[in-house]
Amino acid sequence: MDVKLNIDAEEYLPLREVVFHSLREAILSGRLKPGERLMEMPLAQTLGVSRTPVREAIRKLELEGLAVMIPRKGAEVARITKKQLQDVLDVRKALEALAVQLACRHMAKEEITRLEHAHLRVRDMAGKKDVKAMVKADVHFHDIIYKAANNDKLLQILNNLRQQMYRYRMEYLKNVQNHKVIVQEHERILEAVRTADEERAAEAMRRHIVNQEKGILLLMAEEEKQE
């Protein structure tokens, strides 16, 4: 197997969970690419484990939508389709618009300060071409808004979508030109939150996610041309 995979030995996790997290990270980072076969024996040999935890990890990846089982072929990394992208981002757009509206109502001064610091972190990461660090900073900015919404059910639903949203974030931010765009969009969201302007905050959030969808669709179109 050509892909180099690392396994992080975390004593507090069962081996199957460690293998699962290692494979999931490889998929989300793009080291295991859409359509690439997930063969138990080569993966087990690469990771230095038996086939059993690999098999269990692949099943969990299927449940998360990151892997699919193809009849007479076996498991492979799930491809990103336009329909899946639009379905997930339509839901994200509605939920995050609601989250930022609620955040405008409930955010204390200390939480706004945390959001400002998170925005500065995103700005610092922009242009450094470190996709993983940029994604992490972007996730943190949005997480502050989720928690500030003060709605446990909304937070639970958003957390259930976390891995799928992460994958699309990663795809979008592979294009480093989009990093500065995110900074500008976060600035608009932050300014609306500062002034507790719910309508403007919701519209800024929707526009932020629509632009992400457009960016990924453009990337997918370019990749199709190269195939």
What was the pLDDT predicted at 2? 58
**Can you give the pLDDT at residue 4?**
59
Task: Tell me which residue of 208, 216, 169 sits closest to 187, measured CA to CA.
Answer: 208
Instruction: Please tell me the predicted confidence (pLDDT) of residue 181.
Output: 95
Q: For the domain made up of 15-77, give the CATH fold.
A: Arc Repressor Mutant, subunit A (1.10.10)
In sequence order, which ranges of 161-197 are alpha helices (DSSP H)? 162-173, 177-194
Q: Which long-range contacts (CB under 8 A, 24 or more apart) does 199-206 make?
A: 201/100, 201/101, 201/103, 201/104, 202/97, 202/98, 202/100, 202/101, 203/97, 204/100, 205/93, 205/96, 205/97, 205/99, 205/100, 206/93, 206/96, 206/97
The verdict on pTM exceeding 0.85 is no
Q: In the chain, which stretches have pLDDT less than 70?
A: 1-12, 227
Domain locations in the chain? 15-77, 82-226
CATH architecture, domain defined by 82-226: Up-down Bundle (1.20)
Give the per-residue pLDDT at 1: 54
Per-residue pLDDT, 6: 58
Rounded to whole angstroms, how far apart are CA atoms 113 and 110? 5
Strand partners, 67: 77
Q: Distance (Å, rounded) from C-alpha 6 to C-alpha 28?
A: 14
